Chain A
């Protein structure tokens, strides 16, 4: 059973009097534990698509099922609950809470979204801190660590709730190539370790090669699908 089923999804924006067709009838399926990348130039619709899959926005038309849930019909609260329990997010600008330490940033979704008991929280956060190699920095604040380290923390935060899906919009855009490569490797390692589906968007050709399934978007349309192996990608 695919984790994501998208059928003919369209998204139109109204910019003043002009209607912009951001997505023009996309259909695809993504299996669990995949490592997928959407690539394409700026304005091709990558972020819009990730926002739809992440239930941050709704398609104008079409069918979108994520983790057996028809996300088109979720109200505001259910949508938030669904995101909190099913999806992890990694942002281009890391988006860590500046007033929380590394440990607290990773702990935040367990504390504020899932109300996880304290022992379980400690266990999961410590495990992820070790997994992303940030245990030594756990008491530091985001402004005391590097960009690469911030993105590692963001990956740990995205994974801490044991989501079925992690969405990363241009996760390496603000990192140098070496760090970017390490971040992608870390994401892949996490996928292997936790069996979580990772979907990321990028326009960095060097990073693109790391994806196991590659969707190419152009002008709101899916132009190509390239499968390079990996889990669940038969």
Chain B
């Protein structure tokens, strides 16, 4: 086998310019895919991170039917205290969970005593919320990075529009699920920056204030947001938790809860899917480049070496060895292109990261592009290129191996 490699290498070096051009083409394709994968992957991960770590969490549990009416923030579809406790006690046993945060979400009127407008509020236990969506504190641009009782974090657009500042007193008026209206004064403790996506422009109060404002006898819960230790296990976890909660039935004998991953809750999942689709098509283009360039060069190699093929066949070289000789040439071209492409691709990624390129996502500005490529992705791209190279060289190699020596020797 070593001798076949030696002959293949020499044959490739015999047509230096052609070999260089073909290997360069493969290299450029590999570099393009690696850089695209790293940059688009970085953008996608950043986008998902912003959405899940700022507001949504990785998974959410609701009472059945809540999500269908989520835009109305229906208080009558909150989980009762008992039901919420059941879910919490189950979540406490799950080792995959890093943190979870029960929330009450509701709409109300916001007044600065001069003007009134509507507001959407999320009532939370601050420690649990900050642990579940760790980017929330960074969204608090003004004031304290906390949510104490009697205090409110006002969305920045609302604060700007209403001329509200940290330390001001405001009133929130809300209607509870029975139709009873109640109001409560809050001190503005901070201004929270909006983010793109559902719930991205909500204000925050302490959950006990919400219980008081909405005159709940015991704290009900609109949703429980969950953060996982390992995001890559999202779907497996969601399936598991769905199975566990699926056995909890309501009075109608139907499932009492519904479990959704961030993908079901955010329209940006479609953007993430589009990025995946684009990556897929870029990979297809790479395969086409490798396939066509290797096939072209191998067809030429076979055509130009017909007499040589005839000679080695005449002196007794078995067809299998002739086939191997050409397949190895294709394989070596693929390996060369893949290895150089990997190195060049990683070098470009390094330069991109050194350049501190920033981009904007929704209202977030100055997000730093951190292009990364995993060893698995590198390996997948390289192996794909090499396999495609071998496949591309099979047809010309097969043709060479099936050549009649007598006809090949006569070739001019």
Contacts and interface: CB of A to CB of B under 8 A. Distances in A.
Interface of A: 51, 54, 56-57, 76-77, 80-85, 87-89, 91, 93, 95, 97-100, 108-109, 111-113, 157-158, 161
Contact of B312 (A54, A76, A77, A112): A112
A113 B409 contact: no
Interface of B: 3-4, 7, 10-11, 13-14, 307-308, 310-319, 321, 405-406, 409
B312 A91 contact: no
Given A91-B311, A111-B3, A57 B316 contact: no
Contacts of B315: 83-84, 88-89, 108-109, 113, 157-158
Contacts of A111: 3
B406 A51 contact: yes
B316 A97 contact: no
A95 B315 CA distance: 11
A108 B4 CA distance: 11
Most buried by B among A51, A111, A112: A112
Contacts of B316: 80-85, 87, 109, 113, 161
21 contacts: A56-B405, A56-B406, A56-B409, A57-B406, A77-B319, A80-B318, A83-B315, A87-B316, A89-B311, A89-B315, A95-B308, A97-B308, A98-B14, A98-B308, A99-B10, A99-B13, A100-B7, A108-B312, A109-B316, A112-B317, A113-B318
A99 B11 contact: yes
Contact of B3 (A76, A89, A112): A112
A161 B314 CA distance: 14
A120 B405 CA distance: 28
A91 B313 CA distance: 13
A113 B308 contact: no
Nearest to B310: A95
Most buried by B among A76, A80, A109, A158: A80
Contacts of B13: 99
B307 A99 contact: no
Contacts of A93: 307
A97 B314 contact: no
Given A51-B406, A81-B318, A95 B311 contact: yes
B314 A56 contact: yes
A160 to B, nearest CB: 10
A153 B14 CA distance: 21
A34 to B, nearest CB: 21
Contacts of B3: 111-112
9 closest residue pairs by CB, A with B: A84-B316, A99-B10, A95-B311, A113-B316, A56-B406, A83-B316, A57-B406, A56-B405, A80-B316
A80 B313 contact: yes
Contacts of B308: 95, 97-98
B312 A97 contact: yes
Nearest to B401: A76
Contacts of A157: 315
Given A77-B319, A112-B3, A100 B409 contact: no
A43 to B, nearest CB: 14
Nearest to A92: B409
B93 to A, nearest CB: 65
